[in-house]
Structures are given as structure tokens and as C-alpha cells.
């Protein structure tokens, strides 16, 4: 799957709405043909103005789904020069599956990894279940997590004596998980992150409206973690970060757009 001419350079980028659009735009500007995979229709909207080769939406269905994309690209269009894994730091399984399939095909794979932010005044916990062992008696705790694990986090925080609130995404899946989390409707806010005239306007307003004293989010890096660091510092709130999973694969990684462009242009 190597040896294609420069004018046929083709990248498969797996990402979301974080760094994904900027990565895709940079690749296109450098003459790469870019195919992008995202999970949701909402994420796909962030790529609407880019001249992409393909924009695929929906879960990849594990190893078989990844293998199908690579096989189809190979037989229809000489395959991909590079696969770029820019998925969320907590989306561990997709990275494992990508490595497995790419090794089988001899497919070049590189990981775009977000920088680890400085902790500052934040405290680290391993999982949301560890909230049960924190000193949260009487606190008003805002969950800024993926809704999939909201139920476990709510139960653990309540066990520690916290009154719990949550912000969830306006997607059917998130709303379904939120409805089974045990939170009353008036303790839920539905909205997308980083909305408003300035980044954090909605999040800041929620903290003030609910008189929040502590926030829980994931140590995912990027703009979302930076946002919560800033809000908690400005409003004097405690910040609990769920620790980023340790790398479970051995894949070459870069931490910047420039680093990615330089590396994949070498071969």
C-alpha cells in the first residue's frame, strides 16, 4: 500500500469536533486528499465547508468496519497513504482496533495526541466511581462528562454526599443516558459545549445559576479541559479530573498540526 505518486496522497482522518476540522483543513491546504470519519451528524457539520474526498458518519463497528474501509479504499482508489487517529483520548477501543487492522494491512498509522494540560489546582481521580471516596458532603457538583457513564458518576457522588447537576449533549443517545441517571429534569442542562458569544458563556452561567461548588470533567486536554480550568479558577470552584487512560498501544504520535504535516510528508 505504498509507492503512490505525490499527486495521489490520501489520508483517512478519524476525529471529532476538537482538533479534527483544523487538521483536515491543514491537510487539504497541503495538497492531501482527505477522507474523514466522525461518529455523529453533529460532528460532521464542523467539516461542511471543507473540500473533503469523503465524509463518513456513524460508528465503525470495530475491527470489521475498519477493515472494510481500508479494503474499499485500496480496491477503488489505491488505498490510503496514512491513517491518522485523532480520536478522543478516552476512546481507547477504536485506537486499539485501528492499530490491529493497520498492522494486518501494512498500513501507515499515526496518532494525533493532545497535550497533557497542567493540573493547576485540579485534583485527579482514576474513575468516576472514585467520587464516592471524595469529601463532597454538602457540595453542589456539576458533571461535565460523557453521558454514557453519567449514571455511575451520579451514584458515586451522591454516596459522598453531593447534590448533583449535569450538562449533557443534545443527542438521542445522551438524552437516553441522562434519563436513566437518576437526576431530576431541573438538574439537567442540554446543550453543546463552547456555545455563546465567547467560549464558556453557557458553562459559566450554569455554574452561577446552580450555585455550583465543584466540577467533574475528564482529563481530555484541548479546549474543553482548558475551559473548565479557567471557569473553576475564576469562580473559585473545585475541579476534579478523571485521569486520562494510559496509552494502550505503541503507535508513533505527534502533538501538533505542524508535527503531523512534517511527519507524513517524509515518506
Q: Specify the fold of 6-115+246-264.
A: Rossmann fold (3.40.50)
Could you report the per-residue pLDDT of 50-80, keeping only the tens digit for each? 999 999 998 888 999 999 999 999 888 788 9
| CATH class belonging to 123-242 | alpha beta
CA 171/CA 233 separation, integer angstroms: 30
Distance of CA 198 to the CA centre of its chain: 21
Give the model's pLDDT for residue 220: 84
Distance CA 58, CA 42 (A): 11
From residue 120, alpha-carbon distances to 96, 212, 225, 229 in Å are 31, 19, 12, 8
Tell me the CA distances in angstroms from 130 to 52, 125, 167, 178, 236, one per residue in order.
42, 6, 20, 20, 23
- Residue 241 burial (10 A CB sphere; 0-12, 13-18, 19+): buried
- Please tell me the pTM assigned to this model: 0.83
Ranges of each domain in the chain:
6-115+246-264, 123-242
143, three cell numbers: 458533571
d(CA 80, CA 200): 38
* Amino acid 248: pLDDT: 65
- pLDDT in single tens digits along all 267 residues of the chain: 444 444 569 999 998 767 899 999 999 999 999 999 998 887 888 898 999 999 999 888 899 999 999 999 988 878 899 999 999 888 889 999 999 999 999 999 999 988 777 778 899 999 999 999 999 999 999 999 888 889 999 999 999 999 999 998 888 888 899 999 989 999 999 887 766 667 788 899 999 999 999 999 998 887 888 899 999 999 999 999 999 887 666 888 888 899 999 999 876
Q: What is the pLDDT of residue 228?
A: 92
Beta strands in 65-153 (DSSP E): 82-85, 109-112, 123-125, 140-144
pLDDT for the residue numbered 194: 67
**What does the block give as the cell for 97?**
482496533
Same-fold call for 6-115+246-264 versus 123-242: yes
Amino acid at each position: 500500500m505504498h509507492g503512490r505518486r505525490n499527486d495521489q496522497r490520501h489520508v483517512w482522518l478519524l476525529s471529532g469536533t476538537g482538533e479534527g476540522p483544523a487538521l483536515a483543513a491543514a491537510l487539504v491546504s497541503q495538497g492531501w486528499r482527505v477522507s474523514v470519519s466522525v461518529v455523529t451528524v453533529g460532528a460532521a457539520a464542523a467539516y461542511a465547508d471543507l473540500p473533503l474526498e469523503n465524509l463518513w458518519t456513524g460508528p465503525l463497528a470495530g475491527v470489521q468496519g475498519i477493515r472494510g474501509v481500508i479494503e474499499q479504499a485500496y480496491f477503488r482508489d489505491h488505498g490510503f497513504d496514512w491513517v491518522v487517529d485523532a480520536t478522543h483520548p478516552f476512546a481507547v477501543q477504536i485506537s486499539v482496533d485501528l492499530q490491529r487492522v493497520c498492522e494486518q494491512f501494512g498500513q501507515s498509522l499515526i496518532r494525533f495526541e493532545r497535550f497533557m494540560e497542567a493540573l493547576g489546582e485540579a485534583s485527579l481521580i482514576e474513575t468516576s466511581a472514585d467520587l464516592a471516596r471524595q469529601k463532597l458532603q454538602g457540595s453542589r457538583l456539576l458533571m461535565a462528562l460523557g453521558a454514557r457513564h453519567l449514571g455511575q458518576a451520579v451514584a458515586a457522588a451522591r454516596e459522598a454526599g453531593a447534590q448533583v447537576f449535569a450538562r449533557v449533549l443534545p443527542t438521542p443517545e445522551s438524552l437516553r443516558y441522562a434519563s436513566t441517571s437518576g437526576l431530576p429534569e431541573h438538574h439537567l442542562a442540554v446543550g453543546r459545549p463552547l456555545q455563546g458569544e465567547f467560549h464558556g458563556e453557557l458553562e459559566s452561567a450554569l455554574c452561577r445559576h446552580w450555585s455550583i461548588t465543584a466540577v467533574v470533567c475528564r482529563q481530555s486536554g484541548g479546549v474543553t479541559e482548558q475551559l473548565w480550568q479557567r471557569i473553576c479558577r475564576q469562580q473559585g470552584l473545585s475541579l476534579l479530573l478523571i485521569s486520562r487512560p494510559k496509552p494502550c498501544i505503541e503507535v508513533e504520535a505527534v502533538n501538533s498540526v505542524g508535527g503531523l504535516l512534517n511527519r507524513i510528508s517524509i515518506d
